[in-house]
Amino acid sequence: MSGELLVSLLVLLPVAVAVCCLALRNAAAQKVLLLPAMVLLMVAAAALALRVLPEGPFALTPAAVWDNIVAVLDYVILAYFLYIGVTSRNGLVLGLAVVLAVLLPVVQFGVLGGHVAVSPVFHIDALAIVMCLVISVVGSLIVLYATDYMPAHEAHLKLERTRQPQFFFWFVLFLGVMNGLVFANSLLWLFFFWEVTTLCCYHLIRHNLTDEARENALRALWMNLVGSVAMVAGIGLAYNNAGTISIQELVTGGSALVLLPLALFCLTGFTKAAQAPFQSWLLGAMVAPTPVSALLHSSTMVKAGVYLVLRLAPGYADTSLSLLVAIFGAFVFMVTSLLAIGQNISKRVLAYSTIANLGLIVCCAGINTDLAIAAGIALIIFHAVSKGMLFMAVGVAEQQIGSRDIEDLDGLAARRPVLTIAAVIGMLSMLFLPFGVAFAKWAAIEAAGAQAGWFIAVVTFLAVGSAATLVFWSKWLGRMLSGPVVETKEPKPFLAYGTILLLVSGAVGLSIFVTPLITVLIQPALSGMGYDQAFDVAGWHLRTTFGFFPPWALFLAVAAAVLLPALAARGYRKELDPVYLCGVNVDGPELWFTGIAGEPVQATTGGAYWTQLFGEARLTPLSNWSALVLLVALLAGVILR
Amino acid sequence: MQQVRVDRGADPVISPDALLKEVELLASEGARFTTMICLDLDPEFEIIYLFQKPTLDVVRLRVRMAKDEELPSISSILLGAVLMENEIREFFGVKIINLAIDFKCRMLLSEKSLQMPLLKVRPKPKLTGGGE
Amino acid sequence: MGFLKRARVKSPWILHYCTGGCNGCDIEILACLTPLYDVERFGMLNIGNPKHADVLMITGPVNWKNREVLQRLYAQTPDPKVVIAVGACAATGGVFHNCVNTLGGVDKVIPVDVYVRGCAARPEAIIDGVVLALQKLEEKRSGGVAHAAGAR
Amino acid sequence: MTLTWPIIIAVAAVLLAPLVGGLLRGLDRKLTARMQGRLGPPLTQPFYDFGKLVGKSRSVSSRASIAWVWSYFLLTLTAFALFFLGQDLLVVFFILAFAGGALAFGALSARSPYARFGANRELLQMLSYEPILLLAAVAIYFQTGGFTVYSVFEANQPLLPFLPLVFVAVLVALGIKMRKSPFDIAASEHAHQELVRGVYTEYSGPHLALIELTHWYELVLLMAFLALFWVQPLWVGVLIAFAAYFLELWIDNIAARLRWSWMLGASWGVGIGFIVANLVLLSVLL
Amino acid sequence: MPLMSGNLIKNLFSGPATRPYPIVKREPFPRARARLAYDPDKCTYCGICANICPAAAISVEEDRENLHISRVYNSFACISCARCAELCPQGSLRMEVSPHGAADAKTVAYSASKET
Amino acid sequence: MARVTFPFGPQHPVLPEAIQLQLTCEDERVVEVLPVIGYMHRGIEKAAEANLYPNNIFLCERICGICSFIHALCYCELIEGMMRVEVPPRAKYLRVVWSELSRIHSHMLWLGLLADSFGFESLFMQCWRAREIILDTLEMTTGQRVIQSSCVIGGVRRDIDLDMEPGVRRQMAAFQKELKSIYPVFAKDYTVKLRTVGKGVLPRDQAWSLGTVGPTLRGSGWADDARTLGYAVYDDLGFEPVVEIGCDSYARMMVRLREVVQSVELVIKALDQMPEGDLTVTVKSFPEGEGLIRVEQPRGELVEYARGNGTAYLERLKVRTPTFSNIPALLVMLPGCELADVPVITMSIDPCIACTER
């Protein structure tokens, strides 16, 4: 198949499927439509990858009429935002939409003078392929998961009239838009896709139509509009300063004049990636159905933000902007990891962890060395797989248990063994070394450590944040693993469980085969962006100039260390003894003790959140102000240069 | 030098109804609860309340009551009395009501212990096992 | 196995529990840990957790409320284990022989291996008791798992 | 580098560490006793304790706990072996963190309030010392240009004169890892603590022995890490490590156990603060 | 924090304060009341000790069939108050300074009069 | 907010005795505490009605093995007062000597346990090592280490004669030397202060109205000490109560620490002033009527009430021990503290559960 066809398939197939979804009210019909469509999408992505990776970047410029269509659609969306602002009486949305409505024509017709030909409009290099694979594979799996999830979700809500058509419309549409976004080289096209993702995001957050959902959707909207404004301003400045709105030209131009637009684009990326102080929209987005959280808010859409920052990284290498981006990202990584310690709602923990990991990717972009960029790209992949899967597992658990409180997930292993094992592997893969996320963390710390000067701050933030990560995952993970044996049958919806298990095996498999992954995907992406190779991969080891990482040996050792005892413990058949309760256990039910007046009292073992130290009330204002200061410093540093 | 012998006649004797009022008065003068002593003078109980004035002086108050009469708890006025009231209820079966912390006659004794151990004359049926 | 058996005698960890005595023996047991008597030279540690203990040092005549606690602590202590009843009231009820709420001795509740006399038992006597208890511990075999708090 | 010698060294270290670790713990108990005016147990006491525990019957309150305690041991062993193979220090510390996590998971899996309090505090301890260890590895990179143990040996000058504050910070981490006052909040050796024995509460018999053995490995690993600060010649580093060990015992005996918030403040303030100050000074002065 | 250091240095260099008990037995104080010694030859089986023993450790029973009085002393119940020794009119009871050893079974000391 | 409800005791290594606190924590902050007692209850008051009244001395001594001498003293003075027996002056001085020695031994024990409760093991050892000097003195003079059995109705059973007195003085001097090395650690050490200052605050008014006694009350600024009532010969020794105004665990600790110093001085002073004379007077009759006495135990004011009917058996003996009055204070001090402070605050009232539950 030709490259053009594949690209248009990747972008337009989801759009077409989405429109079809509008007509389908029946769950079975949805499955019939979506399953082949999603498989096709995955195949297309793979085919494109097979074409691009060996042959180098693939460029594509659609007919000029499409430029006009895109321009018109920009204004349609803008009008819709204005309409939302007016009807919802939300000053921020309205205000920002108005600013955008003024700024966009000014930039488009004033600065750009109507029409600027960009060549190529789509530039598909290895980095775009990495993103495309993530979107098409992980995204498609999540769509399939949603076909199981949404009927149950609606059954739970007891809706009179199904709203699944709308849901799947926005949901599937998003995949195509996202593919377009990562392929786009023209900033105007990028802006268009960017706006559509914002729109999808808005609709999906408010899907449940509760007051909270509407409010949070509006918050997401205005925060994303901040990014849009910054982007439009950036486009104008870029054209003004450098005379181009092609990303490739901007990045490779090496002109100091483009630093300000690049900083503005970074700001746009930060808003999309929900970096502090914009993290509240992502937290609020957790009211949406879980597939939305899994798809938009962890594995793909928020990645658009960091993708942009990463994509532009060569443009600001070795500048103070780079350092400030690194410090900002590391700071966000640290502070959101600390904030996650104080959370007891599972989805909020996942959300904070997502923000933290995005911060880490931003930080990698800022460190801006071969190793750091490699770490950033690796993180995009590993995080998407693990976090998407964790969201899905938590969503199933929420549906089956009826709670998203970590407290209620205590002892899940006894009730939902398969789900728990999947979740535990997912968490371990987020947390510990032989797995990819931690590997990327290792690479990031080594990369940051290898820089001197102000990067000491980056390393410090990373070290603290990495310890905080350990704490909030561990205290959740450990609690799930044991509990009173309850004889319940674990319902296992095929697609939901199937996709979860696929992603689990993906997380483990990719981590084991990290060396070929680096050779095949990440090193080409690096060279596509103009960086050198980060690793010496000879002998299946990953050797950097100063560090050494033997994935296979580690995997063997850790697998032996974790799996063998687990197997042995399964074989322990003897009756379990009661726990230590100062000698006043009550016979029979677990965890009851004799308390006041000789009456039995149930011992509870709630988790620790240390909210007086890590609670939102204490940390959020602090982190928001600090992040704001860093952002101002970031922009000021660029302007004052 | 402290006077060890107690002159019985010198103490005011009141009924359970008047107790709370007296205690409130004492409390307003800054007195605090020291202890209470229950005596099983069959067929009545005599309960001696000891209060301490901000000086070292002790004020005694005696309550005479029939065994099935109800005695209001003073723990709402002086929380320090709550343990002793529970103990007296447990040891003698004195019906003390409105306790701030109710140990349900299981403060010191277990259900297998001898109930109301300090009663001189044991009531025959029912009244054993002070628990509610 | 010789080492393991010797190790058992060289490392008795004690659980001390007062079942309703007067404290006299309890403070003497604590005094055994302190510099002048220092039972740690025999490897003894006051471990405080039944699951880690080998030697139960019980004082007091056992009252009704403590009976079940004592049974549970005994059940939660893994084999092999020995029980030392320290003091007159732990052995027979002693001065509390006519107290209504006491059962009169630890052996009314759990099997006792060694009795230490005295009221309060002197540290020297307690050390003698431990030495005797260790001889008994050596004779015991590592039996089955101590199961379930409510063994009785 | 050829792998023959590192493998021989690592195998020897793995085999010898229990002996050295046990003797160190014995020395700890003996010295502590003498500081308290007591005679103390024999030097070989930890081995007796270990042997006794192995011979005891088990009491298991959660299956997952026994799995994790073995993981704790094996992971620590992995980290230990990696260190003596001359591998990347960050990798060693990450694996060590996994091991520490496994210990906490084991305690969390048992639904005992005491074990869970202990595990939560264990995690706070990790929050305290983990950044210090990671930053210490970075500091070593600053001085040697490599993250591997091997690169420390390749450097031609001792680290301590350049990284004195880092050394002090690592002492804080050592104190936490050794569970000595003022940091013995998650589990104390002598149980006279509000958490009974914290993370160890639900373990007994052979599992406790395994934990003890793992502690020996951890101890030797940390001592070896301290010795890295002066490897030209190595015996000076070993002496320094012993001095640090003695210092920890001393501090244990002149301080009360403090609370977790203080620990966090101290380890972040002193530990991280010192390392950052050291690195800043280093980059300013050199 | 270092205020304890002085004590530690003193302890380290002055040697342990531990009394090596089972190996070296300390000389007991002359007044120590550790064990009740009984001289059956002096005893008249008057029963005063049994009456006043606060721990009921001593009992005196008359066996009319066999025509003798027996005195039973339970050392495990004895609280070493020395009240019996003080009140014994014959001086057959007295407190000794060295404590009892530990025992693995409760046995009582039994002594009977030759005849009544 | 996730809560943790769990039993703290009865078997718990920081608690030497069996008491249970049913704690509810959020994170590590204690939000609710319920004391569960009864694990040490024996029924001594009932047994005291069945015993011959002189035998009750030995029973009363074993209400609590730590302050046993003062329990015996209290009972003896109570019966003597009811029977209008005048005790010889030498016996009164000896009673003071022994009760102050018991106070020192109790306070040193407590200081050690407090040090242990905040994890200062070497300090614990140091305290208990110093305490052994006092125990030796007690054994030398009375024949037993912790339960002296020296008080009888009408006087004392043993004497500190001229042969023994220099020994006692030597021991006190040795103890003072040890105390001098311990005192500054408690009073000034940074970590000790960190663990005690501001922990378990019991405001002055509340301390009074809750009925707390002894060092717990004196640590909150009240000069309330039953020794000022002048039983035995405290009048002649010029006794002044020790008062601290900090209202926290540190203040209570300092009260006890300073009381140790004071008690040593009292012992020496009593030895100096001790008159010659008999040790006992003969007591023939039986107690009759009602008697009420208050004496100062190491833990606070001990109130005993007895009712006799002219026979060898008492009709009623009521013992109100100091800890019984101090437990309600825990209900005020514990909520809001951290779990790590629970042992320290619980120890700060010097709980004697054997006393409390009798």
User: What is the percent of chain A with per-residue pLDDT over 70, rounded to a whole number?
Assistant: 98
**Which pLDDT score, from 0 to 100, does residue C149 have?**
35
Q: Quick one: CA dihedral A589, A595, A600, A604, positive or negative?
A: negative
The verdict on a CB contact (< 8 Å) between F65 and C95 is: no
Query: What's the pLDDT score for residue D22?
Result: 92
Single residue among A284, A315, A346 that ends a domain in this structure: A315
The nearest CA of chain F is from the CA of E41 a distance in Å of 26
The helix/strand/coil state of A329 is helix
The span from the CA of D276 to the CA of A557, in Å, is 33
**Among chain F residues, CA nearest to E7:** F181
Write the Ramachandran bin of A204: left for phi over 0, alpha for psi from -120 to 50, otherwise beta: alpha
Say which range, A64-68, F58-62, F228-232, has the weakest mean pLDDT: F228-232
pLDDT confidence of A641, banded at 50, 70, 90?
low
Decide if C150 is inside a domain. Answer: no
Report chain A's mean pLDDT, rounded to a whole number. Answer: 86
Residue F195: band (very low, low, confident or very high) from pLDDT cuts 50, 70, 90: confident
At D61 the pLDDT is 81
This complex has an ipTM of 0.89
Which tokens go with A137? 């594979």
Q: Which two tokens stand for residue A470?
A: 């350990």
For residue B1 the two structure tokens come to 């030098």
**pLDDT tens-digit series, residues A434-481:** 888 888 888 888 888 888 778 888 999 999 999 999 999 988 888 888
Six token digits for residue A326: 């690194």
In one-letter notation, the amino acid at residue A18 is A
What tens digit of pLDDT does each residue of A371-380 get? 889 899 999 9
Give tens-digit pLDDT for F145-193. 888 888 888 888 888 888 888 888 998 999 999 898 889 888 888 888 8
Q: Do chains E and B touch (3 or more CB pairs under 8 A)?
A: no
Is C87 near chain E, with CB under 8 Å? no
Query: Could you tell me if A447 and A521 lie in one domain?
Result: yes
Residue E60 lies in a domain: yes
Angle at the Cα of A365 from the Cα atoms of A362 and A370, rounded to 5 degrees: 145
CB-CB contact of B27 with B49 (8 Å): no
Task: Check whether residue A378 and residue A504 sit in a common domain.
Answer: yes
Mean pLDDT of F16-26: 85
Report the pLDDT value the prediction gives residue F151, as an integer from 0 to 100.
86
- Per the structure, the count of domains in chain F is 1
Q: How many domains does chain C have?
A: 1
Asked if residue A476 and residue A465 are part of one domain, the reply reads: yes
Which chains does chain B touch, 3 or more C-beta pairs < 8 A? A, C, F
* Chains F and D touch each other (3 or more Cβ pairs < 8 A): yes
Domain total in chain D: 1
Contact residues, chain C, for A583 at CB < 8 Å: 17, 50, 69-70, 72-73, 76
Give CA angle at C15 (C9, C19), nearest 5°.
Answer: 135
Co-location of A321 and A300 in the same domain: no
Question: Which structure tokens are listed for D223?
Answer: 């001592």
Residue type, A606: G
Q: What percent of chain F has pLDDT over 70?
A: 100
Host domain of residue D138 = 4-285
Q: What is the rounded distance in angstroms from the CA atom of residue A407 to the CA atom of residue A479?
A: 9
Specify which residues B50 forms β-bridges with.
B35, B60
Any chain B CB within 8 A of the CB of F43? Answer: yes
Give residue-wise pLDDT tens across range A21-31. 888 877 788 88
CB pairs under 8 A between A and B: 13
H/E stretch holding D223 reads helix D205-227
Task: Choose the closest CB to A583 out of C72, C146, C148.
Answer: C72
Cβ-defined contact of D38 to E1 (cutoff 8 Å): no
Please tell me whether residues A297 and A432 are part of one structural domain.
no
CA angle (A363 as vertex; A360, A364 as ends), nearest 5: 90
Report pLDDT for D243: 93
3-state secondary structure of A247: helix
Report CB contact under 8 Å: F81, B4. Answer: yes
Task: Please report the beta strands in A504-556, taking only residues with DSSP state E, as ranges in sequence order.
Answer: 542-543, 548-549
Residue B124: pLDDT band with limits 50, 70, 90: low
Q: Assess E103–C contact: CB distance below 8 Å, yes or no.
A: yes
Q: How far apart are alpha carbons D40 and F122 in whole angstroms?
A: 13
C-alpha F321/C-alpha F294 separation (Å) is 10
User: How high is the mean pLDDT in each 10-residue block of chain D (286 residues)?
Assistant: 78 90 90 87 90 84 85 91 87 90 88 86 89 90 85 85 90 86 74 76 87 92 90 89 91 86 87 89 81
Distance CA A430, CA A427 (A): 5
CB contact, 8 Å: F124 with chain C? yes
In angstroms, the CA F325 to CA F322 distance is 5
CATH number for the domain harbouring residue F59: 1.10.645.10
* Residue B75 falls inside a structural domain: yes
Nearest by CB to D38, from C4, C11, C38: name it.
C38
C71 in contact with D at a CB cutoff of 8 Å?
no
If you average pLDDT over every residue of chain B, what do you get?
81
- Residue from A498, A452, B124, C50 nearest D282 by CA: A452
The 10s digit of each residue's pLDDT in C92-135 is 888 888 888 888 888 888 888 899 888 888 888 888 888 888 88
Chain A residues whose beta carbon lies within 8 Å of the beta carbon of residue B102: 597
Residue E100 lies in a domain: yes
Select the residue of F4, F5, F10 nearest A582 (Cβ to Cβ).
F10
Question: In three state form, how does the secondary structure of chain F look?
Answer: CCEEEEEECCCECCECCCCEEEEEEECCEEEEEEEECCCCCCCHHHHHHHCCHHHHHHHHHCCCCCCHHHHHHHHHHHHHHHHCCCCCHHHHHHHHHHHHHHHHHHHHHHHHHHHHHCCCHHHHHHHHHHHHHHHHHHHHHHCCCCCCCCEECCEECCCCCCCCHHHHHHHHHHHHHHHHHHHHHHHHCHHHHHHHCCCCCCCHHHHHHCCCCHHHHHCCCCCCCHHHHCCCCCCCCCCCCCCCCCCCHHHHHHHHHHHHHHHHHHHHHHHHHCCCCCCECCCCCCCEEEEEEEEEECCEEEEEEEEEECCCCEEEEEEECHHHHHHHHHHHHCCCCEHHHHHHHHHHCCCCHHHHHC
Q: E-chain residues within 8 Å CB-CB of C41?
A: 18
Instruction: Decide if pLDDT at C148 tops 60.
Output: no
Q: Which residue has the tokens 């409130």?
A: B24
DSSP string, D75-86: HHHHHHHHHHTT
* Residue type at position F209: S
The reply to whether A509 and A542 lie within a common domain is yes
Q: How many angstroms separate the CA atoms of A515 and A485, rounded?
A: 41
**Cross-chain Cβ contact A449/D70 below 8 Å:** no
CB contact under 8 A, A598 and B106: yes
Q: What residues of chain A have any CB closer than 8 angstroms to a CB in chain C?
A: 574-575, 577-578, 580, 583-585, 587-588, 594, 598
Tell me which of A315, A333, A357 is where a domain ends: A315
Per-residue model confidence as pLDDT tens digits over C6-54: 788 888 888 888 888 888 888 888 888 888 888 888 888 888 888 888 8
Kindly tell me if the per-residue pLDDT of C146 is higher than 50.
Answer: no
Chains touching A (at least 3 CB pairs under 8 A) are B, C, D, F
User: Cα–Cα–Cα angle for A39, A44, A50, nearest 5°?
Assistant: 130
Residues A68, A113 within the same domain: yes
Which chain B residues are Cβ-neighbours of F325 within 8 angstroms?
34-35, 80
CB contact under 8 A, D37 and F118: no
At residue A362, the pLDDT reads 92
More confident of the two residues E62 and C86:
C86
D abuts E (3+ Cβ pairs < 8 Å): yes
In chain B, how many domains are there? Answer: 1
CB contact under 8 A, F34 and B101: yes
Q: Is residue B123 part of a domain?
A: no
Give domain status of residue C89, yes or no. Answer: yes
Domain span at residue A2? 1-315
Q: How many domains does chain E have?
A: 1
User: Within 10 Å of residue D12's Cβ, how many Cβ atoms?
Assistant: 11
Q: B32 φ, ψ to 5°?
A: -130, 160
Cα A566 to the chain's mean position, in Å? Answer: 31
Q: Tell me what the mean pLDDT of segment A285-300 comes to.
A: 85
Count of helix runs (H) and strand runs (E) in chain C: 5, 5
Residue-wise burial string across C90-111, b where 16 or more C-beta atoms lie within 10 A, e elsewhere: bbbbbbbbbbbbbbbbbbebbe
Task: Mark yes or no for CB contact A576/D147 under 8 Å.
Answer: no
> DSSP letter string over A20-89?
HHTT---HHHHHHHHHHHHHHHHHHHHHHHHHHHHH--EEE---HHHHHHHHHHHHHHHHHHHHHHHHTT
Within a domain: residue E8?
no
Residues 6+ apart with CB under 8 A from B14: B22, B61, B62, B63, B64
Would B113 be classed as within a structural domain? no
pLDDT at C152: 33
Please indicate if any CB of chain E lies within 8 Å of the CB of C27. Answer: no
Residue E1 to residue D255, Cβ atoms within 8 A: yes
Judge: B103–A599 Cβ closer than 8 Å, yes or no: no
Q: Which residue segment(s) compose the domain that C66 sits in? A: 16-139
Chain B residues in contact with F316 (beta carbon < 8 A): 37, 39
What would the pLDDT profile of A533-583 be if each residue is shown by its tens digit? 878 877 777 888 777 888 888 888 888 888 888 888 877 777 778 888 888
Closest of B83, B91, B100 to residue B38, by C-alpha: B91
CATH number of the domain that residue C70 is part of: 3.40.50.12280
Question: What is the average pLDDT across A485-494?
Answer: 70
